[in-house]
Structure 1
Amino acid sequence: MSISNGTTKADEKSSAFANLDSRRLSLNSDEQTTTVVTTLADADEALAFLENHPQSALIAEQGAAILEDEKSRRRLVRKIDLTIAPLLACVYFLQYLDKTTLSYAAVMGLRKDTHLKGQEYSDLSMLFYIGFLATEFPTQWLAQRLSRLSLYLGVNIMIWGVVLACHAACTDFAGLAICRTLLGVFESCVAPILVMIIAMWYKKEEQGRRISWFYVCNSLTQIVGGAVAYGASYAPTSGLASWRIFYLAIGALTVVCGGLVAMFLPDSPVKARRFTDAEKVAALLRTVSNQSGTQNSKIKKEQIWATFRDTRVWLVCLSVLLSSIPNGGISNFSSILLTTFGYTSQQALIMSMPAGAIGVVFVLFSGWLSDKLNDRSLVMFVCILPTILAGAMMIGFDPKGIPLNKSALLAASFLSGTFGAAFMLLLAWNASNIAGHTKKVTANALTLVSFAIGNILGTQTFQQKEAPGYISGKAAIIATLGALCFVIIGLRMSNDRLNKENAVKRAELGEEEQKSMKDKLAFADRTDRENIFFMYTH
């Protein structure tokens, strides 16, 4: 493989960013010559911003000065963190809290007040993921076409806040079923968009920790949600039911959060209003080594097919499926399980808080360690094994719904959520290991489809006919997470193989060819499999 510089209109003018202009690049193989990018519309939006800026030379110089000065570079990263992280954390906190309100409301009197029978509670847990599953691809397609990620996300958040508040008006299964399904519809856009934003702004070695900053909110919701539900459970019984007050309060808070996201969250580095043009350039150039670009609103069919042909994508989907089956059960039945261990409903609400605290520690530590070691797969095992142990303890000390050791079962409950950090690392794996905007969107959608299917299956592993032992649900935790360990090993081996193949291809190029080609492919919106300079994270 070699490089030739095609003649285009871009060559007629001098540009401070000519080294990044992939319209100047053609790849020559033994049989044919392929032009990488023919127009700016085919490339990443970052290239269009850099090429078309009327003061490209000036902002190039200013952006480079920011990156060369250690204090200025750290100041830029802090500004990115303060602009992005709090809003993403707020969104994910409310998404997980809103999704799991059913678990808290169930022990606050919802099941009695709405006359739920048999498997209807499990079905309500499942219906959220049915709505989620049905709209995952359409919502991601819309997000890419509109290219206004923050506005699209903010509107969805406000709508699901209204839907959540409507739960308070429900009096039977039918009303709850409609609300739960719509909640899944409008929450389905969240995780893929948040992962996309992290991939735009941060280098690969920073992404695991940043994703942990918003994913840790899953665990924080257990602390805050448990405390709020515990307090609401003391509301006077003569007035509005405590679980209805709970839904109204959380719904209103969600609507406010959606408005803040729509106003203040940047769509991408190119469109960040609070950043100067020099800071935008510096933010773009500091992530050139990712070789994955930022954004492109043009949907490319060839990248969609490339996603479906990529074995690694399907292995990630299988991993997400296996980790989501126990999630579907634990997230909806954790409070109920505590009541089967011999604790009262109010005690069950307050005892979800220590489990959340343990989850906080695991998520933050896992995000930091995975970036420190540049290794996602090894850290996943640290997160998965305690939950497998917890599942075994729940079966061993509560074999038929008759608690043999209350303290041991409480400890098992506290450990049961550590596996959630492994799902967070799978999201970080997607952010680090996939390039090409359409491919990223498609892969993220497939990942969340697997998440929805896994959670649907998970809600059904806890059968009402097996209450209070729920043996099938507990066994499913052990079986699925055990299988996940083997899939993770397969993913690691696949990434290692691709890195070695790319190293061989790079060795065939001369030093000058390597430098020129690497710069030009950074914002060419090519997939990871088309870019020999792309490095896969383990």
Structure 2
Amino acid sequence: MDQPKIANEKVGSFVSVAYGDVEPQGWDAQNTKRLLRKLDWHIIPFMSLIYLLCFLDRTNIGNARLDHLEQDLKLHGLQYNDCLAILFPFYIAAEIPSNIMMKRVRPSIWLTFIMFCWSVSMIGQGFVKNYSGLMATRVFLGVFEGGLFPGVNYFITQWYVRKECGFRMALFFSAATLAGAFGGILARGIAEMNGVGGRAAWAWIFILEGLLSVVVSLAAYWCIYDYPSTARFLTETEREEVQRRLQAEQGHLSNDFDMKYVWQAIGDWKIYIHMFICMAGFCPIYSFALFLPTIIKSMGYTANEAQLMSVPPYVAACFFTIIASWYADRVGKRGIFMLGFQLVALLGFSLLCGSGKASVQYAGTVFAAIGIYPQIPLGMAWNSGNIGGSLKRGTGIAMQVMGGNCGGIIASYVYVSRDGPRYITGHSILIGVVSAAFFLTLFMSTWCRLENARRDKVAAERGVQDLTEEQKLLERELADNVPWFRYAV
């Protein structure tokens, strides 16, 4: 739990900046805290609202299923699972191009555009008549939703230093857990509209939630602040301080738009490890979001009861997601928290798999939700904080989320109808997936510790030396491979 001792002192040929150390230079702790609170109120709530609606629109098909979606569209076999899975290849394909567009186009323009488009796609999903129509609307939903999650995580890194990003990412991602809770309550209410206007309840779920997203998208352009340098809610002094803090942490790492930094991210093996960890995290999350109402109904409850009983696991997950990321930011650690929650997730899925008793199974859903949801913001903050340079970081975040959403493809087929009502095969698959995440997390945490120790040793041997202009240029080229960079563990 010890923080690196070297902070902002010249070591070897480079300036050593420990994880999260940013000198205030005239700003005391109280003023900095007030500045961060101001950023939080202007950035996080609206971004969380957007993601809540995004996740709700992506997963409300699980609630619609209980209102006779399959029967009305005459879906059979694995066709329902196909409609879930088709979203993710297009979602994945959109992520890196979208984050590059976040760098080329103002975030307020790009995020407004993709939100409006996915909202229209969601409304269209309420008017489909058959399997092919549902497949087509899910494709468009994936294309336009794909840019939001990596885009907002990248956006957060443009406002906060590394030690502050995890908690903010958790606040943002907690909207996914709220979407699960809110979706169950909303679906229960919309079920009363069955037959209104000649449309089934499942169609009204898509139409009304899509309309809500359209309304929010129309306000998004004015509610999203692009960059600290142009933020209208900050004073000139505050704008300078936000930019200074970011620059103090980044040193000479590049913020230029140059495709070589994209290729640098694509060639970084560490990002691929985080991709696999993220995939193993998102797989159970999407399985949960898409099938939890079905799983609870299979315990012997009615459809309406299942909609409402899906709420408590998400509420518990939301609480632990926020608390864990807040504390992880405080101590500057990520891996150890992820390992702990992965063990909790294994407990939850083991209860679901090993018992036929409804109360034990339901307790398993709560433990599983608590275990799986905190892993994503912890993992996103861990990966983004360990990537140097703005464009490389944006690409690396998009790659990580691409890996995560490959887990969505797997999740679409984890729970199939023929395995009900116990779904032992599906629960067993998720036990294996979470176990793989545990060992990958352990490896990555161990490597970061060893690499930091190696760099500390090299720095101590070289002694103090000023940076030359050539060395500054080298820093820009090497990103997080510069000798002064220290990894979060």
Same fold (TM over 0.5): yes
Q: Would the aligned equivalents of 1:312 and 1:494 in 2 still touch at CA under 8 Å?
A: no
State which drifts further: 183-192 or 292-301. 292-301
State which drifts further: 292-301 or 339-348. 292-301
Q: Take 2:307 and 2:256, find their aligned partners in 1: how far apart are those partners? A: 45
Q: Take 1:113 and 1:130, find their aligned partners in 2: how far apart are those partners? A: 26
Secondary structure at the residue paired with 2:60? Answer: helix
Q: What is the aligned partner in structure 1 of residue 6 from structure 2?
A: none
Q: Would the aligned equivalents of 1:326 and 1:476 in 2 still touch at CA under 8 Å?
A: no
Q: What is the aligned partner in structure 1 of residue 180 from structure 2?
A: 222
Q: What is the aligned partner in structure 2 of residue 414 from structure 1?
A: 366
Secondary structure at the residue paired with 1:533? Answer: coil
Segments of 5+ residues of structure 2 without an aligned counterpart are 1-11, 15-22
Secondary structure at the residue paired with 1:266? Answer: coil
Secondary structure at the residue paired with 1:247? Answer: helix
Q: Which of 188, 203, 208 is residue 244 of structure 1 equivalent to? A: 203
Q: Take 2:443 and 2:479, find their aligned partners in 1: how far apart are those partners? A: 19
1:74-473 maps to which residues of 2 (within 5 A)?
A: 74-146=33-105, 148-237=106-195, 239=197, 240-291=199-250, 296=255, 298-301=257-260, 303-397=261-355, 404-418=356-370, 419-473=372-426
Q: What is the aligned partner in structure 2 of residue 529 from structure 1?
A: 480
Q: Would the aligned equivalents of 1:157 and 1:187 in 2 still touch at CA under 8 Å?
A: yes
Cα offset, 1:521, TM superposition: 8.1
Cα offset, 1:370, TM superposition: 0.8
Secondary structure at the residue paired with 1:513? Answer: coil
Q: Take 2:196 and 2:34, find their aligned partners in 1: how far apart are those partners? A: 55
1:233-274 CA distances to partner (integer Å, 9 max, x unpaired)? 122546432222222221122122223332221222123233
CA gap of 1:500–1:289, structure 2 versus 1, over 3 A, is farther
Q: Take 2:245 and 2:425, find their aligned partners in 1: how far apart are those partners? A: 49
Cα offset, 1:103, TM superposition: 0.5
Q: Which of the pair has more CA radius of gyration? A: 1
Secondary structure at the residue paired with 1:201? Answer: coil
Cα offset, 1:363, TM superposition: 0.3
State which drifts further: 436-445 or 303-312. 303-312
Cα offset, 1:380, TM superposition: 0.9
Cα offset, 1:382, TM superposition: 2.5
Q: Take 2:253 and 2:315, find their aligned partners in 1: how far apart are those partners? A: 34
CA gap of 1:281–1:322, structure 2 versus 1, over 3 A, is same
CA gap of 1:283–1:293, structure 2 versus 1, over 3 A, is farther
Q: Would the aligned equivalents of 1:307 and 1:442 in 2 still touch at CA under 8 Å?
A: yes
Q: Take 2:141 and 2:254, find their aligned partners in 1: how far apart are those partners? A: 28
Q: What is the aligned partner in structure 2 of residue 498 from structure 1?
A: 451
Q: Take 1:276 and 1:521, find their aligned partners in 2: how far apart are those partners? A: 32
User: What amino acid does structure 2 have at the position aligned with 1:513?
Assistant: D
Q: Would the aligned equivalents of 1:100 and 1:332 in 2 still touch at CA under 8 Å?
A: yes
Q: CA RMSD in A?
A: 2.7
Q: Take 2:157 and 2:277, find their aligned partners in 1: how far apart are those partners? A: 20
Q: Take 2:383 and 2:251, find their aligned partners in 1: how far apart are those partners? A: 11
Q: Would the aligned equivalents of 2:384 and 2:396 in 1 still touch at CA under 8 Å?
A: no
Cα offset, 1:494, TM superposition: 1.8
State how many pairs are aligned.
Answer: 469
Q: Would the aligned equivalents of 1:434 and 1:527 in 2 still touch at CA under 8 Å?
A: no
Q: Take 1:101 and 1:394, find their aligned partners in 2: how far apart are those partners? A: 23
1:119-154 CA distances to partner (integer Å, 9 max, x unpaired)? 1111111011122123223323333232x1221011
CA gap of 1:76–1:238, structure 2 versus 1, over 3 A, is closer
User: What amino acid does structure 1 have at the position aligned with 2:365?
Assistant: S
User: What amino acid does structure 2 have at the position aligned with 1:411?
Assistant: A
CA gap of 1:143–1:105, structure 2 versus 1, over 3 A, is same
CA gap of 1:135–1:236, structure 2 versus 1, over 3 A, is closer
Q: Take 1:430 and 1:150, find their aligned partners in 2: how far apart are those partners? A: 25
Segments of 5+ residues of structure 1 without an aligned counterpart are 1-26, 30-62, 398-403
Q: Take 2:119 and 2:405, find their aligned partners in 1: how far apart are those partners? A: 20
Cα offset, 1:326, TM superposition: 2.0
Higher relative contact order (CA 8 A, sep 6+): 2
Q: Take 2:112 and 2:477, find their aligned partners in 1: how far apart are those partners? A: 29
The alignment's TM-score, normalised by the length of structure 1, stands at 0.81
State which drifts further: 71-80 or 316-325. 71-80
The alignment's TM-score, normalised by the length of structure 2, stands at 0.89
User: What amino acid does structure 2 have at the position aligned with 1:218?
Assistant: A
CA gap of 1:138–1:305, structure 2 versus 1, over 3 A, is closer
State which drifts further: 430-439 or 102-111. 430-439
Q: What is the aligned partner in structure 2 of residue 34 from structure 1?
A: none
Q: Take 1:447 and 1:85, find their aligned partners in 2: how far apart are those partners? A: 21
Cα offset, 1:510, TM superposition: 5.0
